[in-house]
Amino acid sequence: MNIVILAAGQGKRMKSALPKVLQTLAGKPLLQHVLITALSLQGKQTKAGPIVVIGHGAANVKAFLANVAKEDPSFGNVATVLQAEQKGTGHALLQALPKLDPQEPTLVLYGDVPLTSKKTLAKLSKLADGVRGQDSALALLTQNLANPSGYGRIVRDADGSVREIVEEKDATPVQKAIKEINTGIMVLPTNSLRKWLKALRASNAQGEYYLTDVIAMAVKDGVPIRTTQADDEFETVGVNSRDQLAGLERIHQLNVAHQLMAAGVSLADPSRIDVRGTLECGTDVSIDVGCVFEGCVTLASGTKVGPYCVIRNSEIGNDVAIHAFSHLDGAKVGHHSLIGPYARLRPGADLANDVHIGNFVEVKNSKIAANSKANHLAYVGDSIVGSRVNIGAGTITCNYDGVNKHQTIIEDDVFIGSDTQLVAPVRVGRGATLGAGTTLTKDAPANQLTVSRAKQISLPWQRPVKIEKKIAVKKTAANKVTAKKTAIKKSVTKSVKGKK
């Protein structure tokens, strides 16, 4: 099957510098959603990939496609054709014509209709099925809407067969009352399509080459027209404004929330979760309100995520508690660990089982072995931390000398007192204790107390007494008047005194 995605339009109503199809839904550009579905439909046997008709912001769209192809090689199969001037949907499809295999039917999708399911499209393409190489039926995806305004209407004959599609701006009042609309998604017999597209005329209210005009041509040529509808209305909703984008995002997130709950996840409020990627959960996972999941996240069975956490590309073990306001990115967390509240795990944070990372603790590119703890206010970066290590409040691994990063190694059973700085590269031997306030610049031997601290002294001391300050008066206009009056008074008193 040929697949053409129309994506050349500007999307004026978005009022954005970005082409509309690059606006994001669930963290991904609208066009990427459409392409993922298109690629899943084509299967491996298709030589040519989907064709995207680009126009407005073409360079941006091309750069985006090149970028995703780096991460996902299947996108390398996506071709683009340029529609330099946007003269309508029929004109857009005409640009892709030379790239279409005439032996295969052509599925038309819109770059701004992101959530059509594979199931719906498979059903539509089956409807158009015929003998390979021969033109068969034309299949239209329609929708019955309570408020059909703005859409093309499906006009049927008395016997129910489709006669034509009339655009809103060209419709008579009777046609405007029709509730069945054209979603724009259709499967067309490619051989006939070639002929029909060339015969299109722009003699309509918008002066555009309407793809929808091919329907009446198909009727004339005796090509059967079949219609079907999606299970859910949101599947055919297009995005024209930021308002619609936000609306569709909520619909999508609510769907994801219901899928999670159906799979055994407890959500404190299904309307307050955002999954921008894939979230895989074991059984009895619970997620509190306001959490955002990005990229690929897995939460194994029994794990609990507190309110307002952001978790990106991370793998969390069984029965982990992630408390409120924690931020995890590129982290691995072992079973039974406790994270947060207000913890930050950055890329390369690799925690074994039963590790505790408490409030205002940041861990980056560090391996922390089982049963170790950093419960308060610490920075652990570029480190290897052994088992049963206790990292006291205020401990900092000074990993950066302003030019290079260096490693800190903390062996098993180490106890690090509060407010300690470990100036990397440095190693703390097994079982060592570092006294509070130590600035460690050399390796600390195993099983000893190492402390770097000025000796504590006590001296007799008299605390100074506070000196009262004179209040300086600013010379404002009012002050000047008072000063003048006082001067006059003084001179009068003087002269009176002189008279005496």
Q: 3, 189, 188, 201: which is closest to 90 by C-alpha?
A: 201
The alpha carbon dihedral of 64, 70, 74, 80 has a sign of positive
By C-beta, is 55 or 238 nearer to Mg ion?
A: 238
Beta bridge partners of 75: none
Q: Which of 14, 26, 34, 53 binds ligand UD1 (CB under 6 A)?
A: 53
Catalytic residue selected from 91, 335, 376, 406: 376
Q: How far apart are CA 362 and CA 368, in angstroms?
A: 13
Distance CA 193, CA 213 (A): 11
Please state the closest distance from residue 161 (CB atom) to ligand UD1, in A.
Answer: 18
Residue type, 69: A
Site string for ligand UD1, 78-107 (x = CB under 6 A): -----x--xxxx-xx---------------
Residue nearest to Mg ion (CB): 238
Look up 356 and say whether it is catalytic: no
Minimum separation from the CB atom of position 177 to ligand UD1 (A)? 16
Q: What share of the chain is helix, strand, coil (3-state, %, to 5)?
A: 25, 30, 45
Q: Does 210 bind ligand UD1 (CB under 6 A)?
A: yes
Q: Does 373 bind ligand UD1 (CB under 6 A)?
A: no
Q: Does 7 bind ligand UD1 (CB under 6 A)?
A: yes
Contacts with Mg ion, 210-239, as mask; x by CB under 5 A: ----------------------------x-
Beta carbon of residue 166, minimum distance to ligand UD1 (angstroms, whole number):
8
Query: Tokens 């999941």 label which residue?
Result: 293
Select from 29, 50, 111, 114 the one that contacts ligand UD1 (CB under 6 A): 111
Nearer to ligand UD1, 55 or 306 (CB): 55
Copy the structure tokens of residue 354. 């039963």
Contact between 374 and 394 under an 8 Å Cβ cutoff? The reply is no
Tally of CB atoms within 10 A around 239: 26
Write down the least CB distance from residue 227 to ligand UD1, Å: 13
Tell whether residue 152 is a contact of ligand UD1 (CB under 6 A). Answer: yes
The region of 38-46, 179-187, 217-225, 424-432 touching ligand UD1 under the rule CB under 6 A is 179-187
CB of 103 to ligand UD1, least distance (A): 25
> Where on the phi/psi map is residue 150: left (φ > 0), alpha (ψ -120 to 50), or beta?
left
- C-alpha span between 35 and 71 (Å, rounded): 14
Q: Provide the 10 A C-beta neighbour count for residue 449.
A: 13
Residue 196 makes contact with ligand UD1 by CB under 6 A: no
CA 255 to chain CA centroid, nearest Å: 16
Dist. CA 120–CA 72, nearest whole Å: 24
Q: Which is nearer to ligand UD1, 152 or 317 (CB)?
A: 152
Judged by beta carbon distances under 5 to 8 A according to partner kind, the member of ligand UD1, Mg ion, none in contact with residue 165 is ligand UD1
User: 3-state DSSP call for residue 289?
Assistant: coil
- Smallest separation (angstroms) from ligand UD1 to the CB of 98: 16
CB-neighbour burial class of residue 134 (10 A; exposed 0-12, middle 13-18, buried 19+): exposed
Runs of H (alpha helix) within 263-351: none
Nearer to ligand UD1, 155 or 343 (CB): 155
Instruction: Give the three-state DSSP class for 86.
Output: coil
Closest residue to ligand UD1, judged by C-beta, is: 152
Cα 231 to Cα 121: distance, rounded to the nearest angstrom: 11
Work out how close the CB of 23 gets to ligand UD1 at its nearest, in angstroms, rounded to a whole number. 12
Q: Which stretch binds ligand UD1 (CB under 6 A): 7-15, 170-178, 392-400, 475-483?
A: 7-15
Residues that bind Mg ion (CB under 5 A): 238
Residues that bind ligand UD1 (CB under 6 A): 6-9, 53, 55, 83, 86-89, 91-92, 110-112, 151-152, 165, 167, 181-184, 210-212, 238
Active site positions, annotated: 376
